[in-house]
Structure 1
Amino acid sequence: MTSAMSWKRPGEAQSAGERDLEAILKQVERWRGAPLRYRPVSGGISNANWCVAAGEAGDYFLKVPGRGTEMFIERGAANDASRKAHACGFGVEVVDFLPDVGVEIFAFVEGYRASSNLDFLRPKVRRNAVLALRAFNDSEPLGLTKTIFDMIEEHVSQVAQVGGRLPADQAFLMRRFGEAKAALAASGLDLVPCMNDTLAGNFMIDEADRVLLVDFEYASNNERVCEIALWFDEMAFPETVEREMIETYFGVWTPQIDARIKVLKALADLKWATWAMIQEAVSTLDFDYYKYGAWKHMRARTLFHHPDWPAWLRRL
């Protein structure tokens, strides 16, 4: 928890991050003349997160875009997704958007906290999270369509642009990617609004285990099953729990859904591994992106090298 002593007022900035925030605060019309205070909020590996207290108007949450994030994030599309999530009943209210700097301002949700992987050991949390995610996936289409294939191909190009590192077996990884892309495209895609970033911390829970979804920066219309596959990647559930959640989401478990999830797990790990190699080259945040990316590459390989890989592709 951040102590009350960490609150600052405009004009008290000492770090570059605080100065960036104060410059943004000056642009918010609704806060003209308000007695503002701000403090950092922990979490996130792309941006700097802040809580802003605006006197009687209450508390708000905003994030200052991290260096280089414009390579991955279309802030207008993210705002579109945030508003649709709130409309479907499982998102946080967006109270303002500054398109010139790409900053969304949200109501600060009292009584909720970011979940952890440990919270998902509880069946009630898992079920509520599935229902929240399904509601967003079933909402009206977003203005941006970007499939998992688009993301990976874009990231590979961006790694070259920034001089990032790629693994020695990149050619093999891309051959597997090509096989998966061809098989999934032939099977047909179910394009729906997806968060595309289902970290545990992007599910907020309260004491009753109710769930809200947050952080739609990477949201786009994407293959529905990719959303579930990425989630399973992040949570490392045992197969019994994955099957339970598949049945909750789809109403049934089938070998076809299972194969689709396995193939898309590999692609999701490849996507985030490649993203990490770009971030290693451009980000100023204190985070070991290379270690994160190397871990993701290793997980992708476990599926790309799996003896059942050809059978999964045929089963799609």
Structure 2
Amino acid sequence: MDRYGLICRNIMEKPDITQRELAKALNVSLGTVNHLMKECISNGLLAPDQQNSGCHVLMPAGEEYMKPYKVDGAIILAAGFGSRFVPLTFEMPKGLLEVFGERMIERQIKQLHEAGVYDITIVVGYLKEKFEYLIDKYQVKLLYNPEYSSKNTLTTVYRARHLLKGRNMYLLSSDNWLRENMFHAYECSAWYALSHTDGETSEWCVGFNKKGKITNVHVGGCDTWFMYGPVFFSADFSDHYIPVLEAYYETPGTEQFYWEHVYMDIVNGTVKKTLNRYNKHFKDLSSKALEITDDLLNRAVMYANCQPDNQIYEFENLEELRLFDPRYQTHSDNKALELVAEVFHVEESAIKNICCLKSGMTNKSFLFNINNEKYICRIPGPGTELLINRRQEANVYKAAEALGITEQIIYFNGENGYKIAKYYEGSRTANSNSWEDMKSCMELLKSFHEAGLQTEHSFDIWERIHFYETLCKSRGSILFEDYKDVYNHMQEMMDWLNSLNRPKILSHIDSNADNFLILPDGQIRLIDWEYAGMCDPLIDISMCAIYSYYNTEQLEKLMQLYFKREPSLEERLVIYSYMALGGFLWSLWAVYKSTLGEEFGEYTLIMYRYAKDYYGKFHADLSKL
């Protein structure tokens, strides 16, 4: 790290700074500071201030010397979900949570402004719209990372790499809280902020030499310094780091890497070893990887920026935030926590051990503990108020209550769909690849159907198809190229089903393996009844099959487990029809959900393929009837 530059920077910020204060700031001896000051003066960088005794001023040569160290801007990483902070992050990105009445990201932006750093880009992903107001309030820029939901920070930094090239830039996390402003208008070398721990830690620990140059990074350590908080990328560091970052990005298997994984391998000398491990042979490496030279790696240098205790905070979960900001013990401004506190007649501080249980295709759920008992709170996903009638769902639970096959409901709101249920310790969801599990699930499903429960509402799959189609078109969604042809095939099957006039009873509709809960004693609960209604019960076999991505052979096995015999030709054709119609329905559902910002990868294509493939099977076998 350039000590002349650090001397000049401190003089610029505080002309009357004492040598003792400089020694503390540079973490060197008083004698070393005295020597450095004399050299700066003799080199024409500094001069005593003739008008103010004890002060120094930067000379023109010093101003020229400092130009390469001018900070150009900052990148703030804010794309992630923050799963350890649910349910708060179901409603708000972690960086926008308040600490002592001030949002964490805003505190950092204001600290940057105080240091004269105004060119700020926030890399967003999850709930990106929540950050938009910052453009007007602080004149920041937003950069969207489309891979935020499936990849880690290596990808986020990769998406922002053009902002780093040839520039001196802070790299910050939106969810850091800094007690004192540690930003400057000038930075003299690349650095990573470090905090010290007494005792064991699982953090990324750092070794550095007497000059502060980081020499090794390893996960876990004892009584050591570890990476924690802001980072500064000098233009020179970025020039040598970014080519390695690009090589890692292009290497399969690194999708869940942090950007620090790349730096750790650079420092530890294991870049080529890692790239080899994730490729079959060295010759198969990407062109970017082959361009990496030892000289490039040796020049990607970063220094330790050791910070005092209680300076940098990165809250791991709500429990830590409650200890720091007492307001969160009783008032989190979160609907779900307020509801739980009201239902159980406790303060929010009594809700403990909160963790994300599911951020699923329709709902979000979290697990929590009150008085050593565990419960699950379900929060309806965005747009579900258009898709699901929660009063009908409440009626379904009442109808099925006598059978004792549903989860134990503690609270259910038929207006907004919030649900609190008992958590079954040691339970697991059924494994669709285990025929032993599926045999038990089909036996439960068959006994449920044989009970012949009735409700006032129906599940009309053709009405739902039209409904989702209308929603998709209203939002300008582009449907499939052969949509009209496939639609006509679906109508053909629907007309045939209607001609059968089959009996209807209460059916689950969402009978996928994840909704069969197997308890430690072997009992099974069928959960999540939000789509349930009066329908041909064979639809449940079809839905189970397509949700499990079953092929024809697996479907045959599933039908035999349910019927305990060979299905009749009519039963087989009914199941084929509902598989096709179900695939068509859920592909439209997924297209609509994508317009709300929720993507489900290949699910859309798989469901649409079921519509086409099982229409083919239906059409081929219909003549045999």
Q: How far apart are 1:208 and its partner, in Å? A: 5.2
Matched, 1:59 2:59: no
Q: How far apart are 1:257 and its partner, in Å? A: 1.2
Matched, 1:31 2:342: no
Q: Which amino acid aligns with 2:586?
A: W
Q: Which runs of 5+ in 2 are unaligned?
A: 1-83, 86-315
**Alignment CA distance shift 1:274-1:290 (3 Å):** farther
**Which structure is higher in strand share?**
2
CA distance in 2, matches of 1:147, 1:223: 10
Of 81, 93, 96, the match for 2:408: 93
Of 211, 232, 246, the match for 2:524: 211
Count of paired positions: 302
Question: In the alignment, what sits opposite 1:267?
Answer: 581
CA distance in 2, matches of 1:191, 1:241: 26
Deviations 1:41-99 (A, max 9, x none): 1352222101132225x221111111101121111222222344443132111111223
Aligned runs of 1:233-252 on 2, under 5 Å? 233-237=546-550, 239=552, 241-252=554-565
Of 177, 187, 191, the match for 2:500: 187
Q: How far apart are 1:311 and its partner, in Å? A: 4.4
Question: In the alignment, what sits opposite 2:612?
Answer: 301
Identity %: 18
RMSD: 2.9
TM-score normalised over the length of structure 2: 0.44
**Alignment CA distance shift 1:150-1:136 (3 Å):** farther
CA distance in 2, matches of 1:248, 1:310: 25
CA distance in 2, matches of 1:250, 1:226: 14
Aligned runs of 1:1-316 on 2, under 5 Å? 6=317, 8=319, 12=328, 19-26=334-341, 28-33=342-347, 35-37=350-352, 38-55=354-371, 58-118=373-433, 121-123=434-436, 125-139=437-451, 140-207=453-520, 209-237=522-550, 239=552, 241-252=554-565, 253-283=567-597, 285=598, 288-289=599-600, 291-304=602-615, 306=616, 308-313=617-622
**Alignment CA distance shift 1:143-1:93 (3 Å):** farther
CA distance in 2, matches of 1:83, 1:128: 24
The answer to whether the Cα contact below 8 Å between 2:375 and 2:420 also exists between their aligned partners in 1 is yes
Give the 3-state SS of the residue equivalent to 1:197 in structure 2. coil
The answer to whether the Cα contact below 8 Å between 2:587 and 2:604 also exists between their aligned partners in 1 is yes
CA distance in 2, matches of 1:175, 1:291: 24
Q: How far apart are 1:100 and its partner, in Å? A: 3.6
**Which structure is higher in helix share?**
1
TM-score normalised over the length of structure 1: 0.84
Q: How far apart are 1:11 and its partner, in Å? A: 5.3
CA distance in 1, matches of 2:426, 2:601: 35
CA distance in 1, matches of 2:555, 2:528: 23
CA distance in 2, matches of 1:290, 1:122: 27
**Alignment CA distance shift 1:298-1:239 (3 Å):** closer
Give the 3-state SS of the residue equivalent to 2:334 in structure 1. helix
Q: How far apart are 1:260 and its partner, in Å? A: 1.6
The answer to whether the Cα contact below 8 Å between 1:31 and 1:54 also exists between their aligned partners in 2 is no
The answer to whether the Cα contact below 8 Å between 2:477 and 2:591 also exists between their aligned partners in 1 is yes
CA distance in 2, matches of 1:85, 1:32: 30
Give the structure, 1 or 2, with the largest relative contact order (CA under 8 Å, sep 6 or more): 1
CA distance in 2, matches of 1:179, 1:242: 22
The answer to whether the Cα contact below 8 Å between 2:390 and 2:415 also exists between their aligned partners in 1 is no
The answer to whether the Cα contact below 8 Å between 2:464 and 2:585 also exists between their aligned partners in 1 is yes
Q: Which amino acid aligns with 1:276?
A: A
The answer to whether the Cα contact below 8 Å between 2:432 and 2:438 also exists between their aligned partners in 1 is no
The answer to whether the Cα contact below 8 Å between 1:195 and 1:227 also exists between their aligned partners in 2 is yes
Q: How far apart are 1:149 and its partner, in Å? A: 1.5
**Alignment CA distance shift 1:80-1:314 (3 Å):** farther
CA distance in 2, matches of 1:314, 1:188: 19
Q: Which runs of 5+ in 1 are unaligned?
A: none
The answer to whether the Cα contact below 8 Å between 1:148 and 1:223 also exists between their aligned partners in 2 is no
Q: How far apart are 1:296 and its partner, in Å? A: 1.2
User: Which structure has the larger Rg?
Assistant: 2
Q: How far apart are 1:189 and its partner, in Å? A: 2.6
**Alignment CA distance shift 1:94-1:159 (3 Å):** same
Q: How far apart are 1:249 and its partner, in Å? A: 2.7
CA distance in 1, matches of 2:558, 2:454: 24
